[in-house]
Chains A and B, each alone.
Chain A
Amino acid sequence: MEPRENDFAERLLSIFDNVLLTEEMALSKGYFSDLSIAELHTINAIGPYEARTMTETANILGITIGTLTVAVDRLVKKKYVERQRDSKDRRIVRISLTRQGKLAYRMHSKFHRVLAKRIFDPLSEEERRILTNTVEEIDVFVKEQYKKYSTGEQYKKIVRDDTEV
């Protein structure tokens, strides 16, 4: 590997590690210190508006209903999520964010926007276009690699993410 490629690979991994680390530290020191990163991802998958079914949410996260049930139980206990029975079909349970859950969702998405803004601000329109395309290509490539190792359920999530973009 060329020295420049080596440096690039190290930077890429460093960004990945530090974004996660920063998110975790911001969580532990912030208003939502009782939430883990995994719980925040569940909150993000539920979203701030329309109530979702358990199946929809499990599909978005690429996890089983059983795993999601455990996560939602914890979030209900912590008062970030609430369950309601569908008014037309009582067999269907829908989940939605409480006021506290919506606040956690908003604060978490702010972190991502601040990061993107910081990267974009000093760049020209052309540089932003090139960077966006390059990052998209990296994303597609990494997902391709992930597909090779993932289970059927995780694979479905990747395909869905790709079609939603």
Chain B
Amino acid sequence: MTLAFSIKKQLEHMKLDIKMTCEPNTLTAIVGPSGSGKTTLIRMLAGLETPDSGNISCNNANWFSSSPRNVTPPQHRNAGLVFQDYTLFPHLTVEKNIRFAAVDSEQVPELLHSFNIEHIKNKKPHSISGGERQRAALCQTLARRPVTLLLDEPFSALDVTTRHKLQEMLLELKVQLHVPIIHVTHDLEEATLLGDSVVAIEQGKISPTWFASQLQAVHSAHNSAFYCEQFAQISNAAVCASTNRRKTSCRH
């Protein structure tokens, strides 16, 4: 399963123009300042917004093309999407939320167990913690067996400890899921930690220079030697892939 897209969309203050290919079993982290268009990008992939022109396809399925015009509605894309703070339905308990989305309801107990949310399965979303909520949200999204996983700042509202736990959980999940994962975040550290490849966007475009300067600012305190080595390469590179925290390679 491969998610490939080339999207153009005129936004209020800028023009979004992004072209990418995401492979299965790969987490592509997209970083950028707020207002850079990264949330719009993920919404267009999920089908909640329509690009002006371009193409989106997942595997053999065409999700969007401008000519001939085809817009597959979100219902028929089966793109798993987790928002920052809102995916669960407030009127349903955690278990019912997952059952709601599950392809195979017999799997629900197993899912509850593997996401460590069995103890809160009878609680409603407003009475559980932020970390539990996001675990349940991820569980709900994956219960539907999506063909891709789109994460829009899923851990941004959490405290540091919880965030780290969930980041680790996501790293484990990545190995098991055979789908491309796109993870949008404004946190460069998180992006480099989780991402097999990290893409920076600024003003609606893939921006190697922003990436480099931010990287420098954030990481100058530690690991500076390692990152400095990278700047030379990524200054004109669109995508920087870091297979893990230590070893890094880039492709153009």
A and B interact physically? no
